[in-house]
Chain A
Amino acid sequence: MNAGQQSARRIASQNALSRDTVCISCRHRLASHASRRHASAATAAVAEEPPRTQTNPSNPPVTATGPKKAFQLKCSPVLSRPPVITRELTSFEKAFFLYQKRLNERLALPFTRYFYTKKETPGDIEWKRKRSLRRGTAARDIGAYNAYDDEKWNDEVLVGSKLGDPEDITERLILDAEGKDITEGEPQGDAETGGETISGDARAGEGSQKPVAEVNVERPASRITEADEQNDVKSLNRKLDRSLYLLVQNKDGQWRFPEDRVYGRENLHQAAERILLQAGGINMNTWVLANHPIGHYVNAFKSPILSKILPNRLVRTSRELEQEEYGEKVFFLKSRILAGQADLSQNEYKDKDFSWLAKEEVEKVVSKHYWSQIRNMLTER
């Protein structure tokens, strides 16, 4: 038995891993691991211990008299609302998709019309009429472009054209469902309509047909909501295509995720649920995803603070405690809001204000140090 193995066993048996250096679950795992005679891991863990304690040289042995010296152990639920709608495509993506669709026109098998409408039925006549307005193309979202006629080379759109925008595609589909000409809105002489001749043909063709029945299809709701226009940061209807995070302004005026100490023997998950309740009220349906944190924030105080911690009424195991605190360690737990809205009227931390912010807005309100430690756990969209 080598020395490393022995030391690991000793540590495990004497429970000598001090409480301040290794978390409970890690200690448990280390202990059980050492007893299983896989010593390499435990020794490695022990070898890593010294630098941790060295970062806080003023941390005295546990046996010292007087108030306990420690860090503030805090839990902070990162409550977020996931994106509700799809994101806006970049101009390159729009151009690329349109290009691929026009390529597809000549590479895919032709549309089998008679599989869907029988010959010389009203549906078939209507289909032919609409298709002739699109220069014989079956697709409705690529403009008036036919990959097989003489002008098939003219497959690029001009500067400022909206063709290929998802909004434009939606509008064309709805117009088509209403029985209207989908190339109508395009200006005369535009490349998409193939110049005046085609537009003229289309007009004439339409004039000779009987007017189609008025069908009004409901347009999809706007991607930009009222809350967006008013920039109402308290609303969850803002920025529907982004993740929004709940930030609160604490009693010192700092913007942070809601946070509180961990009391008694509660774990981080329980603490996160309690904090959401005590900070945001009961009118929120939330889900704390996991038991482990997704990030942490460490802040050392300039001078230690002697603080007296009163027991929390919601945590039965919490006791009154006095300790000298050298800094704070905040662990962030990921959580999602499923329904409801935050309400600070029942807030127990004297928070002044709250807001739902996207990632780049979070950067603007929080302190630089805080941002540097939370930025990587927030999703980009």
Chain B
Amino acid sequence: MALMRPSLRPSATLQTPHIHQQVRHATLLKRPKRPYTFTQLITLSDGSTFLHRTTSPAPIYKSTKDTKNNPLWNPSSQKLLNVEEDEAGRLKRFRARFGRGFDVESLEEGEEAREGEESVPRERQEESLLDMISSVGQEAEKKGKAAGKREEAKKSGKGKGGQK
């Protein structure tokens, strides 16, 4: 089973006619052209590895996103569902600037505080929100473009999975 018979190959097999007769022409038997292939080691994100044949000369391919850490392939994994996509680092930069107040707000909107996330008491939430709004306003006054900021703040809520 391992050693598959080469019958399933796309080679130009000779069709020997049943009626044997002399032919005057000659058919060129072409050498099949195949690209050079290497053996490559693929390392998935959970550390599992496998070898495969590829045209790429890189000896190792290390994947960061694959079936082991994608929620589509792991629908029951709560851990993966909570991971927010922030590949460009925009959420991180936003938080460094404006704090995490908006995360809580979006959580409350969606009303699905998942387990493993800290829940902030209600009064403190409002406090932090007020802080946030005032600070945003101040900053906007300084720079004179408040509208753009607010929109960004709305977009990057945690419950919305960090859309770009």
Chain A residues at the B interface, C-beta cutoff of 8 Å: 86, 89-90, 93, 96, 104, 107-113, 116, 127, 138-141, 166, 169-170, 173-174, 176-177, 217-218, 220-221
Contact A173 B2 (CB under 8 A): no
Task: Specify which chain B residues have a CB less than 8 angstroms from the CB of A90 in the assembled complex.
Answer: 2
| B7 CB to nearest chain A CB (Å) | 16
Give Cα A86 to B48, complex, Å: 11
C-alpha gap A217/B37 in the complex (Å): 23
Minimum Cβ distance to chain A for residue B4 (Å): 11
How many chain B residues touch A (CB < 8 A): the figure is 23
CA distance A21 to B22 in the complex (A): 69
| B23 within 8 A of partner (CB) | no
A170 touches B34 (CB 8 A): no
Q: Is the CB of B36 within 8 A of A111?
A: yes
- Interface SS, A side: loop
Residues of B within 8 A of A116 (CB): 56-57
> Which residues of B have CB within 8 Å of A221?
47
Q: Which residues of B contact A93 (CB under 8 A)?
A: 2-3
Whether A220 contacts B39 by the Cβ 8 Å rule is: no
The reply to whether B57 and A177 contact each other, CB–CB distance below 8 Å, is no
- Known A111-B57, A116-B57; contact A218-B47, beta-carbon cutoff 8 A: yes
- Which residues on the B side are within 8 Å of A173 (C-beta)? 39-41, 51, 59-60
Kindly supply a per-residue 1/0 record for chain B positions 33-65, scoring 1 wherever the CB is within 8 Å of any chain A CB and 0 otherwise. 111111111010001111100001111100000
When C-beta atoms are compared, the residue in chain A nearest to B32 turns out to be A107
Provide the bound-state CA to CA distance between A170 and B50, in Å: 9
Please pick, from A110, A176, A220, the residue contacting B47 in the complex, using a CB distance under 8 A: A220
Chain B interface residues toward A at CB < 8 A:
2-3, 31, 33-41, 43, 47-51, 56-60
B contact residues around A170 at 8 Å (CB): 41, 49, 51
Contact B38 A140 (CB under 8 A): yes
Q: Among the listed B33, B36, B58, which residue makes an inter-chain contact with A138, where contact means beta carbons less than 8 Å apart?
A: B36
Contact of B60 among A111, A127, A166, A217 (CB under 8 A): A217
Whether A141 lies near B60 (C-beta < 8 A) is: no
CB distance from A178 to the nearest CB of B (A): 9
8 contacts between A and B (CB under 8 A): A111-B36, A111-B57, A127-B57, A174-B41, A177-B59, A177-B60, A220-B49, A221-B47
Residues of B within 8 A of A110 (CB): 36
Contact of A169 with B60 at beta-carbon distance under 8 Å, contacts A220-B49, A221-B47 already known: no
Interface of B (DSSP majority class): loop
A residues within 8 A CB of B31? 107
Residue of B nearest to A169 (CB): B39
- Cβ–Cβ contact B47 & A166, under 8 A: no
The residues of A that contact B3 with a CB separation of less than 8 Å are 93, 96
Q: Known contacts being A173-B40, A174-B41, is A109 close to B60, with CB within 8 Å?
A: no
Report B53 CB to chain A, min CB distance, Å: 9
Please measure, in the bound complex, the distance between the C-alpha atom of A272 and the C-alpha atom of B22, giving whole angstroms. 69
Give A144 to B41 CA distance when docked, in angstroms: 19
**Alpha-carbon distance between A289 and B136 when the two chains are bound, in angstroms:** 57
**Least Cβ–Cβ distance between A355 and chain B, in angstroms:** 26
- How far does the alpha carbon of A113 sit from the alpha carbon of B56 in the complex, in Å? 10
B41 to A, closest residue via Cβ: A173
B59 contacts which chain A residues (CB < 8 A)? 140, 173-174, 176-177
The residue among B33, B39, B48, B49 with the most chain A CB atoms within 10 A of its own CB is: B39
Chain B residue with the shortest CB-CB distance to A221: B47
**Which residue in chain A gives the minimum CB-CB distance to B58?**
A177
* Distance of B72 from chain A, by nearest CB (Å): 17
Q: List the A side residues contacting B41 at CB < 8 Å.
A: 170, 173-174, 220
**Bound Cα distance A350, B50 (Å):** 43
Nearest CB on B from A125, distance (A): 15
Given that A86-B50, A220-B49 are contacting pairs, would A108 and B39 also be in contact in the complex, using a CB cutoff of 8 Å?
Answer: no
Across the A-B interface, the 8 shortest Cβ-Cβ residue pairs: A111-B36, A220-B49, A173-B59, A176-B59, A141-B39, A177-B60, A177-B59, A173-B41
- Which residue on B lies nearest to A338, using beta carbons? B76
Query: In the bound complex, what is the Cα–Cα distance between A116 and B37 (angstroms)?
Result: 14
Closest CB of chain B to A239's CB: distance in Å?
17
Q: In the complex, A118 Cα to B55 Cα: how many Å?
A: 17
Q: Which residues of A contact B60 (CB under 8 A)?
A: 173-174, 177, 217
B39 touches A138 (CB 8 A): no
A residues within 8 A CB of B2?
Answer: 89-90, 93
5 further A-B contacts with Cβ under 8 Å, apart from A174-B41, A174-B60, A177-B60, are A86-B50, A107-B34, A127-B57, A173-B40, A177-B58
Q: Once bound together, how far apart are the Cα atoms of A107 and B9, in whole Å?
A: 15
Q: In angstroms, how far is the closest chain B Cβ from the Cβ of A91?
A: 12
